[in-house]
Amino acid sequence: MITNRPEEKGSLRADARRNRDSILKIAARHFAAHGVNTSLDEIAREAKVGPGTLYRHFPTREHLLCEVLHQRQEELLSRRDEASAKPCAQTALRAWMIALKDYLSAFNGLPQPLINAFEAQASPLAVTCSTLVSITAEFLSRAQAEGAARQSVSAPALFLSAAGSAFVRDKAGKYGATPEQIEEILAFGYLNSGTVQDAANLPYPISKAGAPHD
């Protein structure tokens, strides 16, 4: 399990469970449309519950976000399994990093609360971060063992690089850049010494604008 779920549904009465499910359904839509800082009062209003009911189920925004992410984890775990099945460690790591970046880009602003949770273990999102880093470490270790990734690279650094890429993804156009350009800079740096051919030796996947994903 990736996320630390705030409460078990089996312990709820039928009416409370319906309220909770309604809140989650509306919250997922609001997070997708307006980002992670969307109005919780609006979520409660649309779910036809009072703010107090929302906060009884989800004491903080992080608790609500945690559960919404839990509902999205099946796709991520499926992509993890697909990546694990790849015979080439380098290709497997790239596939996982692409899946991780997509997961972190699910909602506008999502990387920030996850980065905060990475630093504060008391957050309900801390288990999410720890598990994502652990999965990243598995792929990275395999790639390092096969000489496909530098030994100096760490799993937390890779996680943060994916979070950084996701963080600027929606903001790139505002500054005349594209997400692909940002990814290329993350992979190669900004000096005029790297080539597309170097992508095979880098642990972070970049787009087709820079190098193939395999």
**pTM confidence score:** 0.77
**pLDDT averaged over the chain?**
83
Q: Which CATH architecture has domain 72-201?
A: Orthogonal Bundle (1.10)
Which one of 1.10.3470, 1.10.3720, 3.40.50, 1.10.10 gives the CATH number of domain 8-59? 1.10.10
Which residue, 153, 146, 35, 145, is CA-closest to 97?
A: 153
The predicted pLDDT at position 12 comes to 64
The more confident residue out of 181 and 33 is 33
Q: Indicate if the pLDDT at residue 7 is higher than 90.
A: no
Q: What are the φ/ψ torsions at residue 46 (nearest 5 degrees)?
A: -70, -30
Please state the domain extents for the chain: 8-59, 72-201
pLDDT-derived band at 168, boundaries 50, 70, 90: confident
If DSSP codes are grouped into helix, strand and coil, which group holds residue 144? helix
User: Where is average pLDDT lowest: 6-10, 37-41, 58-62?
Assistant: 6-10
Element (H, E) at 99: helix 89-104
The predicted pLDDT at position 44 comes to 97
